[in-house]
Amino acid sequence: MGSNYRLTFHVDIVFCIDATESMDPVLDSVKNNALHFYQDFQQVMEMKRKKVDQLRVRIVVFRDYIADGPRAMLVTNFFNLPEQSEELETSLRSIEAMGGGDDPEDGLEALGYAIKSDWNHDARKKRHVIVLWSDEGTHELGYGKRSKYYPNGMAENFQELTAWWGSRYAPGEMDEDAKRLILFAPDKEYWTSIVSNWNNTIHYKSEAGKGLEDIDYRQILDAISNSI
């Protein structure tokens, strides 16, 4: 019975990790969370009989352009999983907590990199998920422009970054139906503005890597695995 035409499910995840000095006590926990996250997510999808045909994970490590120069923003390409799971783990384990300068970090630039990822845009069911961990608020976009390492083509301000994220009425760089943003971050700017203004977001008000209750973790996994 039925035709031979079949749907497939592709999932891309970008982990944005604050690796400044203040993250030192929790960074190992964040790395473990990241490794478990894609595995737990895949497991939840399969429990719901959503077979993931392709799973890719990318890492964006962020600090502070003014304080950390060339180590302010480190990115990988997407790793195809499970084939490149060892390379992913090696990359995650290599992240060290250092630098950071003042309290806020360049987390908005990290989101800019994540949003502009080379997402899989095949006309199939898909999820494009950004997960970000930080223990601080963010600078204004462009705060680190005087650093020679600051990227060309970055969103000029928060309004432009918001346009990159897009909305139902004015889609941005990401697929409106596929995109999800999960923030493990304190209740500080600009995270609070993002949660108030960007669609398809979940904010877990926390110190990154600390105190995530199992009940909340399962809610996050359900929120990104289910239709909305």
Partner 1 sequence: MKQGLFSLQPDDYFMINGEMIEGCGEDSFYAASSEYTSVLAVFDGCGGIGSRKYPRFSGHSGAYMSARAISGAMHDWFHDFDGGMTLDSQEIGTTMQDYFRNAVDFLHRIGDTSSSRLSGMLVREFPSTAAVALARKTAGSGKKESEVLKAGGPDSQGIELHCLWAGDSRIYLLDEDGLAQLTVDDIADHDAMHNLRADGALTNMVAADGTFSLHHRVLRLKEPVVILASTDGCFGYLPTPMDFEDLLLSSLLQADCPRSFEEALRKEILEVAGDDYTLGFMCFGFESFSALKNHFKKRSAGLLKKYIRPMTENGSEEFAEKLWLSYKNDYLRYLKR
Does residue 24 sit in helix, strand or coil? helix
Select the span of 75-83, 95-103, 119-127, 141-149 touching partner 1 (CB under 8 A): 119-127
Question: Do the bridges between strand 73-75 and strand 79-81 make them parallel or antiparallel, or are there none, so unpaired?
Answer: unpaired
Q: Does 188 bind partner 1 (CB under 8 A)?
A: no
Under a CB-based contact definition with an 8 Å cutoff, are residues 130 and 182 in contact?
yes
Min dist. Cβ of residue 173 to partner 1 (A): 17
Structural element, H or E, at residue 107? helix 107-115
Closer residue to partner 1 in complex, CB, 71/205? 205
Q: Does 207 bind partner 1 (CB under 8 A)?
A: no
Strand partners, 59: 15
Total count of residues recorded for the chain? 228
Where would I find the beta strands (DSSP E) of 71-115? Answer: 73-75, 79-81
From 76, 147, 205, 207, residue interacting with partner 1 (rule: CB under 8 A): 205
Under a CB-based contact definition with an 8 Å cutoff, are residues 26 and 209 in contact?
yes
Rule CB under 8 A: which of 121-180 touch partner 1?
Answer: 123-126, 168, 175-178, 180
Closer residue to partner 1 in complex, CB, 63/180? 180
Question: Do the bridges between strand 201-205 and strand 79-81 make them parallel or antiparallel, or are there none, so unpaired?
Answer: unpaired
Q: Does 25 bind partner 1 (CB under 8 A)?
A: no
Closer residue to partner 1 in complex, CB, 91/162? 162
Q: Does 195 bind partner 1 (CB under 8 A)?
A: yes
Q: Does 26 bind partner 1 (CB under 8 A)?
A: no
**Residues whose CB falls within 8 Å of the CB of residue 9, separated by 6 or more in sequence, listed in order:** 45, 50, 51, 52, 53, 54, 124, 125, 126, 127
Per-residue mark of binding to partner 1, 60-99 (x: CB under 8 A): ----------------------------------------
Q: Which two tokens stand for residue 79?
A: 């790793």
- Which residues of this chain interact with partner 1, rule CB under 8 A? 1-7, 47-50, 123-126, 168, 175-178, 180, 183, 195, 198-206, 213, 215-216, 218-220, 222-228
